[in-house]
Amino acid sequence: MMNKYVSGLYLTLIMIGLLFLAACGTADDATADSNAEGQAEENAEKPVLRVGTEATFAPFEFLEKGEIVGFDADLLDAVLTEAGYEYEYENVGWDPMMASLQNKDMDFGAAAITINDDRKQTYDFSVPYFKSTHMIVFNEGAGFTSAKDLEGIKIGVQNGTTGESAAEKVVGEKNSNILKYDSTAVAFLALKNGDVDAVVTDNVVADEYVEKNPDANVEAITDDETFSAEYYGFMFPKGSELVAEVDAALTTVIENGTYAKIYKEWFGAEPNTDVLLEAAE
């Protein structure tokens, strides 16, 4: 008798469990369906793209009253409008962006990302859209004149960026004098604070910082012999099918003058688009 009761109890429990699972299943299906329908109404076949960035890199991407603005933001809008995609531009941070792209959670990254061979092993890139070099920013009076002066001083960089590689090329990899920060903005804070003696970062960002912070009393120098020129591109997960479409749209935007307009708006000068188109080939 007892056994019967017990097995009856088990059966009931299993039934309740199954019912619960079934209920969950249908609930999930329902939301998935409604999402798909919602997207289908907005856009016949193209999905809404998820584009990641790290918005502390003025003037390329930074937050203004909570909105991501900057050169990259405007260029991204022009390119994806040209390609006919809707998109969401999300400020997820540098390392999470890298991870999301590796896991294919995001469609691509637009964050002044330098194209280099290391990264090409794990990711795919669009054609280049910007030419850049590195600069050393330091407090006035330090009197640095070339990259050689970086030896023996504390250098601030943003973790995982090419500014870090540029500094490492001078003083060696994993040198404990290189302090790696979460963002370039915090690296500049550390310079002001005296935690580091110099910050190595992309020239446009350095120029912007020097110009916008006259009270900070900083200088910036470049060293063409040590720091080679580099190109920025949109970064995709390896094997992404989007690359060709975005490439075509980006080339159109560069050729039809939209690019020059955006460039002039943010940097106040005419771009050398020939260099970009040449580098694309």
Partner 1 sequence: MAEYFDINIVIEYMPYFLKGALLTIGVSIVGILFGCILGMFIGMGKMIKKWYFNFPFVWYINFFRGTPLIVQLFLFHFAVLPAMFDSVSATTSLMVTLSLNSAAYVAEIFRAGIKSLDRGQAEAARSLGMSKIQVMRYVVLPQAFKRMIPPLGNEFIVLLKDSALGAMIAAPELFYWGRAAVGEYYRVWEAYIMVALFYLVLTLSLTYLLNYLERRLDTE
Contacting partner 1 within 116-135 (CB under 8 A):
118-119, 122-123
Site membership for partner 1, residue 227 (CB under 8 A): no
For residue 35 the two structure tokens come to 């999402």
Q: At what angle do helices 242-255 and 273-280 cross, to 10 degrees?
A: 150
Pattern of binders to partner 1 over 80-99, x per CB under 8 A?
A: ---------------x--xx
**Measured from the CB atom, is 107 or 164 closer to partner 1?**
164
Q: Which residues pair with 89 in a beta bridge?
A: 51
Site membership for partner 1, residue 174 (CB under 8 A): yes
**Measured from the CB atom, is 77 or 168 closer to partner 1?**
168
Determine the Cα–Cα distance for residues 45 and 42; give it in Å rounded to an integer: 9
Q: Cα-flanking dihedrals φ and ψ of residue 39, to 5°?
A: -70, -40
Determine the Cα–Cα distance for residues 205 and 188; give it in Å rounded to an integer: 11
Site membership for partner 1, residue 181 (CB under 8 A): yes
Nearest alpha-carbon partner for 200 in 247, 148, 150, 163: 163
| Min CB(168)–partner 1 separation in Å | 9
Part of the chain binding partner 1 (CB under 8 A), chosen from 10-18, 22-30, 190-198, 202-210: 190-198
Part of the chain binding partner 1 (CB under 8 A), chosen from 8-16, 35-43, 82-90, 172-180: 172-180
CA 195, chain centre distance (Å): 26
Total residues contacting partner 1 by CB under 8 A comes to: 26
Q: Where are the beta strands (DSSP E) in 80-194?
A: 87-91, 108-114, 123-125, 130-132, 134-139, 155-158, 178-181
Contact residues toward partner 1 (CB under 8 A) are 95, 98-99, 102, 118-119, 122-123, 156, 159-161, 164, 173-174, 176, 179-182, 186, 189-190, 193-195
